[in-house]
A and B are shown apart, each in its own frame.
Chain A
Amino acid sequence: MNKINRRSFIKIAGSAAAVGAVGFPSIAAAAGKKRVVIVGGGTAGATAAKYIRRADASVEVTLIEPNKHYYTCYLSNEVLGGGRKMDSLKFGYDGLAKHGVTVVHDTVTGIDAKGQKVTTKGGKSFGYDRCIVAPGISFVDNIKGYDQAAMEKMPHAWKAGSQTALLRKQLEGMADGGTVLIAPPPNPFRCPPGPYERACQIASYLKQNKPKSKILILDKKDKFSKQGLFTQAWDRHYKGMIEWVKAEDTGGGVMRVDANAGKVFTEFDEYKPDVANIIPAQVAGSIAKTAGLTDDSGWCPVAGKTFESTIHKGIHVIGDAAIQSPLPKSGYAANSEAKVVAAAVVDLVNGREPGTPSWVNTCYSIVAPNDGISVAMVYNLVDGKVAKVEGSGGLTPMDSSPQDRAREVQYAYSWFKNITSDIFG
């Protein structure tokens, strides 16, 4: 019984601490509190909000996000493959509220760096000591004819949600023997292995249900992430189903679409696929540009240590929107950057020098029901810049055993459950 008591004590102690944390914000709503406003409630923004409160519950954190729910892009390719339901990608903000984050569902229309305030479509204004901007991506008009209406016919499905559901519906409606055209974007873009995992997931569905069908990938690049491993997977699991065409061979990939006619054009050729998944080039989410946080590349330059904008002081940009290379534009990296910035912001509002950062990234791709691959890397700060730790990380070996590949799928699911609970729980 003694053994049980020790454990029970820990549980009781834990609950008491939790009650304390919940009780605190209402008491401490007095003046003189440090205020942080976070723009965007995706992976980066939501993580930052939670981790600031974890580090210092006296900091008032307001997170402004237009949507009531967030759909993760990661694992959304499994919805296309038919192995996952949209609902499993859906997360709300109740968890953040429990950490004492004030969640406001509104659209940010301006950030005044000098006046240190954020204004919204709903007519509200939020003053801040530090602002964190995590707006994700927006699309560039690099493919002629690919406008809002065309997106409803040739979905990009690169922001998860209704676009993902639409692409899945089109795949379900396609007859056996049809062609699915995937047009991946040029670098840099969200989730570098994503288009190629997508090809695997769609092929997995087609193989089982419409085996005479084909997938044609018309790329804007001449090489891509995890290329050796993906090519191996296509050969191993979907032989003859997937054709990848590099940019060089088409004079630069897809240039134009005629969504009404169902046509896709490269410089020299015309295609009429049964399903077209057009993924445009990307830049930082539009509020970043409005707020003057972007440079000529369309992305946001930041300092390596704190991800503070090098254009506007007091504003930190994290996640896909930041120029964070060599960190990739991935969910894990966004979560990792957010924690480093949360710690830095807590230090800064308390008048302390931010500590030494440490980042990590892991990207899983599920290429077949029992075949998972990954790339990982540890990052540190060298001469004020994000750098890869030499000798760390790397890819799943090409010759790893089927047993290890099956484990990587289970670890991918574990990653999904743990990271989403780390962000929203």
Chain B
Amino acid sequence: MSVNKSLAVLLGCGMMLGTAQLSAAPTATMLADTCAGCHGTDGASVGPASPSLAGMSEIYIVDSMKAFKSGERGSTIMGRIAKGYSDEEFQLMASVFAKQPIAITSQKTDAAKVAAGEELFGNNCEKCHDERGGLADDDAGILYSQWLPYMQYSMEDFMGGTREMPKKMKKKVEKLSDAEIEALLQFFASQQ
């Protein structure tokens, strides 16, 4: 870089700092608290459709928010809101939710479907959604006791192509019928 160019860059930075006063980043709690209106206090959603974030891994939350922001993952409203935050801010928010215990919901589920789902789970999902979808460290979100409508929307999105399915998941899902997928979701939703 030439001296002139470096000078221009330096001057540019100086001017930017001069025009808008940059504040320190908001705290993690400050940022995470703004999510509670839709996702519940501490990310424990009381439903019926917006998902609980409590207990999800930082990696999963940050990746999801980046995908919402870029439009890679389709949404009704999350993408519009995600555009208001930086990656660092996603990381801060995620650090709060990752510390929370998984939210246990009380949802109406069909016992026969739950039983069928439990069987399917072992053969199809467990490797990536360990501990009945309750292991944060697999970075695959939290499905344990998750809200059923949210999981149904997610599957619609996966099938419809507005959300990319991981290859391993695609292979499994392609072999499952709609009824089997519904049974699996009921199984996750029923976890207490």
In the bound complex, residues from chain A placing their C-beta under 8 Å from that of B80 are 376, 392-394
| Shortest Cβ gap from A403 to chain B (Å) | 7
> Which A residues from 399 to 425 make CB contacts under 8 A with B?
400, 403-404, 407-408, 410-411, 413-415, 417-419, 421-422, 425
Instruction: Pick the contact of B34: A339, A374, A382, A418 (CB < 8 A).
Output: A339
Question: Hey, what's the 0/1 contact readout for A261-284 against B, CB within 8 Å counting as 1?
Answer: 000000000000000000000000
B45 within 8 A of A: yes
In the bound complex, residues from chain B placing their C-beta under 8 Å from that of A340 are 30
A contact residues, total (Cβ < 8 Å) = 53
Instruction: Pick the contact of A392: B26, B83, B134 (CB < 8 A).
Output: B83
- On whether the beta carbons of A358 and B26 are closer than 8 Å, the reply is yes
B12 within 8 A of A: no
B2 within 8 A of A: no
- On whether the beta carbons of A411 and B49 are closer than 8 Å, the reply is yes
B1 within 8 A of A: no
In the bound complex, residues from chain B placing their C-beta under 8 Å from that of A414 are 38, 45, 47-50
Instruction: Pick the contact of A421: B29, B41, B50, B149 (CB < 8 A).
Output: B41
A396 within 8 A of B: yes
In the bound complex, residues from chain A placing their C-beta under 8 Å from that of B39 are 418
Given the known inter-chain contacts A400-B76, A410-B149, please indicate yes or no for A415 contacting B81, CB distance below 8 A.
no
In the bound complex, residues from chain B placing their C-beta under 8 Å from that of A86 are none
- On whether the beta carbons of A382 and B20 are closer than 8 Å, the reply is yes
Docked complex Cα distance between A377 and B49 (Å) = 21
A324 within 8 A of B: no
Determine which residue in B41, B48, B80 has the highest number of CB atoms from chain A within 10 A of its CB, and name it.
B80
| Shortest Cβ gap from B73 to chain A (Å) | 14
A7 within 8 A of B: yes
B37 within 8 A of A: yes
- On whether the beta carbons of A411 and B50 are closer than 8 Å, the reply is yes
A150 within 8 A of B: no
| Shortest Cβ gap from B186 to chain A (Å) | 18
B117 within 8 A of A: no
Docked complex Cα distance between A422 and B50 (Å) = 14
Query: How big is the B interface, by class?
Result: 35 or more
B140 within 8 A of A: no
Given the known inter-chain contacts A376-B80, A392-B83, A425-B41, please indicate yes or no for A413 contacting B49, CB distance below 8 A.
yes
| Shortest Cβ gap from B123 to chain A (Å) | 18
> Which B residues from 9 to 31 make CB contacts under 8 A with A?
20-21, 23-27, 29-31
A336 within 8 A of B: yes
- On whether the beta carbons of B33 and A339 are closer than 8 Å, the reply is yes
B67 within 8 A of A: no
Determine which residue in A7, A10, A415 has the highest number of CB atoms from chain B within 10 A of its CB, and name it.
A7
Docked complex Cα distance between A394 and B77 (Å) = 9
A356 within 8 A of B: yes
| Shortest Cβ gap from A399 to chain B (Å) | 13
B110 within 8 A of A: no
Q: Find the B residue at minimum CB distance from A389.
A: B84
B178 within 8 A of A: no
Q: Find the B residue at minimum CB distance from A413.
A: B48
Sample of 5 A–B contacts (CB below 8 Å): A340-B30, A362-B77, A382-B20, A391-B83, A392-B81
Shortest beta-carbon contacts, A-B, top 7: A378-B84, A392-B84, A414-B50, A410-B49, A10-B101, A389-B84, A358-B26
Binding site for B on A (CB under 8 A): 3, 7, 10-11, 13-14, 51, 55, 332, 335-336, 339-340, 343, 355-360, 362, 374, 376-384, 389, 391-394, 396, 400, 403-404, 407-408, 410-411, 413-415, 417-419, 421-422, 425
Contacts A355-B30, A407-B76, A413-B48 known; 13 new A-B pairs at CB < 8 A: A11-B101, A13-B101, A355-B26, A356-B26, A356-B27, A358-B26, A362-B37, A378-B83, A382-B20, A407-B49, A418-B50, A419-B38, A422-B40
